[in-house]
Chain A
Amino acid sequence: MASIIELNDIRKVYGGVIVGVDHVSMSVEDGEFVTLLGPSGCGKSTLLRMIGGFEQPTAGQIVLAGRDVTYEPPHKRDVNMVFQDYALFPHMTVGENISYGLRMMGLPRSETRSKAVEALDLVGLPEKIDQKPHELSGGQRQRIALARAIVRNPKVLLLDEPLSALDANLREQMQVELKHMHEKVGITFIMVTHDQTEALVMSDRVIVMEKGRVAQDGTPAELYDHPETPYVANFIGTTNFLPARVLSRDGGSVVVEAGGTRIIAEVGGALPEGEHIRIGIRPEKLHFAESGASGPGNTLEGRIEEQIYYGLGMRTVVRLAEGSTVLVDGLLPEAVARTTLPEIGSNVRLSIAPHNVRVFAAEN
């Protein structure tokens, strides 16, 4: 597949001092669903708005379908945007809102109407065509905004936190709907969100941003299982970090000292002996070891300090012998009553497989 949009070393500086986006390069393939993920203020919206043409980069280049559009105004770009506040025109009916972009293309009224009807069918709201936006619910407005953007059949659809104004239930439902919509229309989607679940659920690829830069770029599984930095490891899912020191290395694995014991981690790359590092372990990759049994994995010893029940499973806070705490997540097996789980205060052994231990640079 060919790349539909390419950003080359994009930089955006506001007022000469505030760096919004810093040296970002990325490429999106035709038909892909890419999500820009990051905390508030990391520059996701700025990046999206530069693709839409609402902001101009301070430096760098934006190429859309082989054409340099870096300084093109929005109305000349073949991209459309679903705005966070939907930005439906309050004085127009739903049908007029959807037809607006078609009228600007110079289509005759008869044609715009029938296309608007088609688009409304696509989002499942054909009966709302003659209503005004203020007569619709939040979720309905969201769908109209979506219909208005895709009716022009743009090369790329931009979505700035499209679901953030919806309540939790509707949001989950719309996540699935948007994903289906993407599959149905085959347009490239670039979405912005600060919600990691949303990013993982919906996207083919997630670009995690940190302070205006790309922290990591990969599929949801790559990001979750192989975060390259502690920032990504912590932003996507939860990670237990333990300070560690490299003891020895042996082919594809290193032995480190952490949590008061020796832990083997499978890693590539060079790590000098004696180096201070950090290891990261996902809470759900830690298991309570059978007492007495010693498997091939690593073992950590500690005492249960707190248990948090959350329906689907149980989160246990374990204080390790050397003083730090780790979280352990486990699903509750169907037949097991809570009483058979280790009790607060009791000593436990935790096991973790070497390939589930991530190695990061030490905190400075």
Chain B
Amino acid sequence: MSTASTDTAMISTVSRARKPGLVSRYAADMAFMAFVALLMAFLYVPIWVLIIFSFNDSRTLTWPLSGFTLDWYGTLFSNQDLLAAIGNSFYVATSATILTLIVGIPAAMAINKFQFPGKALFRRLILLPITLPGIVTGISMLNMFRLFGFNLSLETVILGHATALLSVVVTQVYSRLQRLPRSLDEASADLGAKGWQTFLYVTLPNLKTAIIGAALLSFVLSFDEIPVTFFLTGRENTLPMYIYSTMRRGVTPEINAVGTLIVLASLVLIVISVIMSREANRSRQSL
């Protein structure tokens, strides 16, 4: 009780001492807030426009709004092409994510654990696709598939995405591995665990949040990927490709409705990843 009152006393002395600068500081704060507000507006107004027009009962995207409707969501769910595209996108994004995790996690562990000749080169090569423009990845993989006589399909798209996303998984998992003390593995072996037991009981749980984060990111990146998909897809289309093709005839309110749903799904993913990283931070304090 008494400490609390001395604390407040001290705080008031401090603020009194600073009083001359208070007005100018207030102004600076206001300016900063205004700047942040502008920035937020620039980032988010388009999204709000999209969401609002998805509920507007006019086919044309013109101001003012004419009335509220859920029709566009209705037509969306009766548009077979659109539904197929959404299904394809989920299929591609899920498969590409799983594939890239299966390859990426062991790759990251190998880079972290073993010393081998050409290791630096190997690391660069794995990280390269992230710096390559999608067009280059797309064209080169197209050439490769042609060469091997593969037919283009959603599966070739999956391979393309998995290749492009490998670097995402490897970087995330590798950076977590680097922060894990090597002594954890040794302690596990010391306590009688075989290699696979150490991986299952010690390494994997400590990588969990990094893996989930990488998976979410891979999923999202694959879900709205266009350039690689453009070169590698066969007859079926993913959602972004479908949207892109219908957009040439103008933005339709259905597209706005799809966009709104995607925003909603992204929000959910963001919340999940924030919760995950918070958990990761908490357990990392112990290291």
Give A contacts to B, CB under 8 Å: 52-54, 73-75, 79-81, 83-85, 87-91, 100-101, 104-105, 132-134, 148-149, 152
Contacts and interface: CB of A to CB of B under 8 A. Distances in A.
Contacts of A134: 282-283, 285-287
A212 to B, nearest CB: 22
Interface residues of B, number: 23
A100 B184 CA distance: 12
B173 to A, nearest CB: 16
Interface in B187-203: 187-194, 197, 201-202
B184 A87 contact: yes
5 contacts: A53-B190, A75-B193, A80-B190, A100-B193, A134-B286
B193 A133 contact: no
Q: Is the interface of B mostly helix, strand, loop or mixed?
A: helix
Given A89-B188, A90-B286, A152-B191, 19 more contacts: A53-B189, A54-B190, A74-B189, A74-B190, A75-B190, A75-B191, A75-B192, A75-B193, A80-B190, A80-B191, A81-B190, A83-B186, A85-B183, A100-B188, A100-B201, A101-B192, A104-B192, A132-B286, A152-B192
A74 B286 contact: no
Contact of A85 (B181, B190, B202): B181
Given A104-B197, A132-B283, A87 B186 contact: yes
B9 to A, nearest CB: 33
Contacts of A149: 190
9 closest residue pairs by CB, A with B: A134-B286, A101-B191, A104-B192, A87-B183, A87-B187, A90-B286, A74-B189, A91-B205, A134-B285
B72 to A, nearest CB: 46
B190 to A, nearest CB: 5
Interface string B51-64: 00000000000000
A73 B188 CA distance: 12
A105 B186 CA distance: 17
A88 B192 CA distance: 15
A299 B103 CA distance: 78
Question: Of residues A54, A83, A90, A134, which shows the largest number of chain B Cβ atoms within 10 Å of its Cβ?
Answer: A90
Contacts of B197: 104
Nearest to A49: B186
Nearest to B187: A87
A85 B285 CA distance: 14
A159 B150 CA distance: 59
Given A100-B201, A104-B197, A52 B190 contact: yes
B253 to A, nearest CB: 48
Nearest to A54: B186
A85 B186 CA distance: 12
Given A75-B192, A75-B194, A104-B193, A91 B206 contact: yes
B124 interface: no
Contacts of B113: none
A219 B205 CA distance: 45
B284 interface: yes
A91 B190 contact: no
A134 B285 CA distance: 6
A64 B181 CA distance: 28
B185 to A, nearest CB: 9
